[in-house]
Amino acid sequence: MRASRVSEKIIEGLLWLSAIITVLVTIGIIWVLLSESVSFFSEVSIIRFLTEKEWTPLFADKKFGIMPLVAGTFLTTAIAIAVALPVGLTIAVYLNEYAHARLRQIVKPMLEILATIPTVVYGFFALTVVTPFLQTLIPGLAGFNALSAGMVMGVMIIPMISSLSEDAISAVPRSLREAAYGMGSTRLQTAFGVMVPAASSGIIVSVILAISRAVGETMIVAIAAGQQPRLTLNPLVPIETITTYIVQVSLGDVGHGSLEYKTIFAAGITLFIFTFALNNLSFWIKKKYQEKYD
Amino acid sequence: MTNSDINRFKDKAFQAFGIFCTFLGLLVLAIFLFNILQQGLSRIDWDFITSLPSRRAARAGILTAWSGTLWILVLTALIAFPIGVGAGIYLEEYAKKTRLADFLEINIANLAGVPSIIYGLLGLEIFVRQMQLGSSLLAGALTLSLLVLPIIIVTTREAIKAVPGSIRDGSNALGASKWQTIWHQVLPASFGGILTGIILSLSRAVGEAAPLIVIGALAYVPFVPSSPMSAFTVLPIQIFNWTSRPQAAFQNNAAAAIIFLLLITFLLNGIAVYLRNRQQKKIKW
């Protein structure tokens, strides 16, 4: 009896330990990013990092302005959301208000296939199919550009927005929809006048999560967007994102402890701050508006 | 036209647009798969599967890449399975309404949103440098294990939550201890759901390239890995490498390797969907 009680305690301890590992992972991430970037910022002032307009840590003439990488990340993300938000939201509304239940059952999992395809495969698609196609339409388009990387990234996150938004719209109580129909509204008026506003917190959460995903996405931009950090909003030229820069340095031979090595952690902590803020914002919105209809 | 006619027209127009958008995604998917098959299928033969990488496109194969992928899959499963399931059990059965449980939950949700390349930076510093594992299979598998941990924990919790309390009560009434109840009743009943989570997490791990590039996995590894400490490459990194070369022959190689990668991903996802459907049908408490 006693032995079994002891082993129960040991098992519980082991289970507790596995749960605590997740906290250690978070601490590990923050510690690694902070410790390496603190030593980076002791050599390069944070003001230079935030205000210089060029990012050339690998050249002889070193400039450490993160802005070009942030601009590249922002540009590809904005293009991706410009593709995924209208399409994803339309799909969500169409599946919820118009489509037969059976069509929804078939289409939803098929769309989710888009989210399971490895991103390196999307990168290949952007580079070898989408860019040549766009070049026939836009003569000045460079071989590496933000436009096709962003568009393909948009396709990748369509199911994220459509699925989560669809869930949010189906969670709206039936009575609201019936009231709208009772007033003589068409399906379109019901959808965009009543259902979408009522589900807006859930839809906003899905969009914020999609933005966070696009900001952190790596392989598509590393393959198709180029490796030229530049401070521009022109989607037709090569750019570089934060994630691409980290890949670029990782592929090279940069000595451990060198300033170049530390730049990837400075870039990493910038990326982490962006996605952490977005994820917490979505979490906060979800928490705040969750029980609106209960 | 009266106002209601206009509204009805708008309604129909949106319906058409909705159909268009819904099938746009599927159309892109179809074009994409067709393109890959067209480019890559002719390149696939026995030699391609069994050859080492080479600087000449026509002689290069994916032997090291797929064996590396297989190694990574097995090691990641071995590391992530006990930790993820253990954490899931703890959170669902032991730590239900404490402050710590709330904190753990928020923390796991946050980890799920951390970009994969950040896990690469973590793995580089902790496993490759501090623990001195080098750019080995083990370092890669540990990194990917941490990356997929949130998926396993969340699906394990869902699966355990689906087991009704009456089963636990019955077991407890017969004098079973808490762990005996979990081990003999709850876990067997939720096994299908837990397995679904493991398989989904593996299908995620199999497609990851970014964190492995960061920890220093290289595209050119001229031997098949023989132990967890071997240097390695995986299919996504091999594809990335071939994609970034200008010659068309390498692009065909990339397409052929993509066919393999997609086969593995779709197979794993298919099994997960099958298990989930079977689970939903079978259980009628």
Where residue A141 falls (left for φ over 0; alpha for ψ -120 to 50; beta otherwise) is beta
Check pLDDT > 90 for residue A275: yes
> What mean pLDDT do residues B105-123 have?
94
Coil/strand/helix, residue B234: coil
Percent pLDDT > 70 in chain B is 98
> What mean pLDDT do residues A100-117 have?
88
> What mean pLDDT do residues B153-178 have?
91
Query: pLDDT tens for residues B171-198?
Result: 989 988 889 999 999 999 898 889 999 9
The pLDDT confidence band at residue A204, using thresholds 50, 70 and 90, is: very high
Q: Which residue has the higher pLDDT, A112 or A144?
A: A144
pLDDT the model gives residue A2: 64
- DSSP tag of B184: I
The interface pTM score, or ipTM, of the predicted complex is 0.93
Check pLDDT > 90 for residue B108: yes
Query: pLDDT tens for residues B211-255?
Result: 999 998 887 777 888 889 888 899 999 999 999 888 888 888 999
Check pLDDT > 90 for residue B147: yes
> What mean pLDDT do residues A239-250 have?
94
Check pLDDT > 50 for residue A294: no
Check pLDDT > 60 for residue B284: no
Coil/strand/helix, residue B54: coil
pLDDT the model gives residue A79: 97
Q: Please answer yes or no on whether B121 and A246 come within 8 Å at the CB atom.
A: yes
Check pLDDT > 60 for residue B285: no
User: Which residues of A fall within a CB distance of 8 Å from B263?
Assistant: none
pLDDT the model gives residue A293: 57
Q: Nearest residue of A to residue B220 by CA position?
A: A251
Percent pLDDT > 90 in chain A is 65
> What mean pLDDT do residues A61-87 have?
94
Check pLDDT > 50 for residue B202: yes
Where residue B79 falls (left for φ over 0; alpha for ψ -120 to 50; beta otherwise) is alpha
> What mean pLDDT do residues A8-26 have?
93
User: Which residues of A fall within a CB distance of 8 Å from B108?
Assistant: 22
pLDDT the model gives residue A1: 54
Q: Does B192 touch chain A (CB under 8 A)?
A: no
Check pLDDT > 80 for residue B54: no
Rounded Cα distance, B253 and A78, in Å: 32
Whether B90 contacts B156, CB under 8 Å: no
pLDDT the model gives residue B2: 80
> What mean pLDDT do residues B41-69 have?
82
Q: In chain B, which among 41-80 make CB contacts under 8 A with chain A?
A: none
pLDDT the model gives residue B283: 59
Rounded Cα distance, B173 and B171, in Å: 5
List the one residue out of B30, B25, B10, B272 whose CA is nearest residue B151: B272
Nearest CA to CA, how far is A87 from chain B (Å)? 6
Strands (E) located in B43-146: none
Q: Please answer yes or no on whether A125 and B117 come within 8 Å at the CB atom.
A: no
pTM (two decimals)? 0.93
The pLDDT confidence band at residue A57, using thresholds 50, 70 and 90, is: confident
Mean per-residue pLDDT of chain B: 89
- The H or E element that residue B141 is part of is helix B137-161
User: Which residues of A fall within a CB distance of 8 Å from B30?
Assistant: none
